[in-house]
A and B are shown apart, each in its own frame.
Chain A
Amino acid sequence: QQQVKQSPQSLIVQKGGISIINCAYENTAFDYFPWYQQFPGKGPALLIAIRPDVSEKKEGRFTISFNKSAKQFSLHIMDSQPGDSATYFCAGIIQGAQKLVFGQGTRLTINP
């Protein structure tokens, strides 16, 4: 019940296109959903996050869409750039439990 399932495992998008990564969770006690971006050899970097009482959050080219009833959320990267090529992880956290449960990751490649 702690799992966060992420898809696809890998994604190739042309420069300027929209990248979409999907996640689904089971535990309705999750109350914070961050997305992380990780470049090879680096630590995960917090990209954007959302709480379940909000249906959408936008920061620059990055948007999280959240569907509480379906227990799903997704990351949209608009106008995708080669510099966005990285591995993206979704996660859920129960703030009282104080640990992140990560999805399996999506390796995103933006072709120039």
Chain B
Amino acid sequence: DSGVTQTPKHLITATGQRVTLRCSPRSGDLSVYWYQQSLDQGLQFLIHYYNGEERAKGNILERFSAQQFPDLHSELNLSSLELGDSALYFCASSVDGGGHYFGPGTRLTVL
């Protein structure tokens, strides 16, 4: 158990819908990262927040957004969902930007 929690574990929704994925980092970690894992793209960095501020963006679509709240939990919002958004979404946290500790992931299925 990494200490990073993610909810929900599974999410099934339809195209065009909006969903919110939630992540709680390990106690004491100020950094939260979001990654997308699909079969054809591997693990792709989406976005990084540090203590409530956005620090880096990767290949994140404009339909996706994230935020980190004062209690350090983070939410990833995915809107206007498409079939191709079906993937595993992982949250990770770290204290010093080195080793990332990953949560169990949210499996998103868009029908």
Q: Is the interface of B mostly helix, strand, loop or mixed?
A: strand
The smallest C-beta distance from B50 to any residue of chain A, in angstroms, reads 7
Asked whether A44 and B97 contact (CB < 8 A) given A99-B33, A99-B48, the answer is no
Name the B residues within 8 Å of A45 (CB-CB).
2, 102
User: Chain B residues with Cβ under 8 A from A44's Cβ?
Assistant: 43, 90, 102
Q: Is A32 touching B98 in the complex (CB atoms < 8 A)?
A: yes
Complex Cα distance, B97 from A34, in Å, reads: 12
Q: Is B104 an interface residue (CB 8 A)?
A: yes
Check B14 for interface membership: any CB of A closer than 8 A.
Answer: no
Please tell me if the beta carbons of B2 and A101 are within 8 angstroms of each other in the complex: no
A43 touches B2 (CB 8 A): yes
A1 contacts partner chain B, Cβ-Cβ < 8 Å = no
A105 touches B55 (CB 8 A): no
Range of interface residues on A (Cβ < 8 Å) = 20 to 34
A93–B97 CB distance below 8 A: yes
Q: Are A43 and B45 in contact (CB under 8 A)?
A: no
- One of A32, A43, A104 near B90 (C-beta < 8 A): A43
Chain B residues with CB under 8 A of A97? 56
Mark B residues whose CB is within 8 Å of A: 2, 4, 31, 33, 35, 42-45, 48, 50, 55-56, 58, 90, 92, 96-105
